[in-house]
Amino acid sequence: MPYARINMAEFRTRDEMTKTLSILKNDIKSVFPEIRAFTAIETSETSILTISVYDDKAAADRALEQRDKHHEDKDLSDIFSHEGFVECMYFDNEKLAL
């Protein structure tokens, strides 16, 4: 069953947030090889909320280690997560172009 993790990350600077997001925009699969869906929402000048979906909880658990490695050299002031099984998900492919 699909499993999702919602992360709320607060960076010390906007530049650090932009740099981190740029890596994910360019090649998220290099950071999270098992990811199936990803959304990042800027919630303030220095914070971002992300929603990551994986095939199952085991894949999401493996992604935790990858997330921690990805954030090792980042200037985060806080990060917290919520997670659980996906009960409903919808994508309209014609609306996803950014």
* DSSP assignment of 74-98: S-EEEEEEEEEE-------GGG---
pLDDT digits (tens, 9 = 90+) for 46-98: 999 999 999 999 999 999 887 777 666 766 677 788 999 999 988 777 655 55
Query: Which domains are seen in the chain, by residue range?
Result: 3-87 (3.30.70.100)
CB 61 within 8 A of CB 32: no
Segment 15-39 mean pLDDT: 90
CB 5 within 8 A of CB 84: no
Helix, strand, coil content of the chain in percent (nearest 5): 35, 40, 25
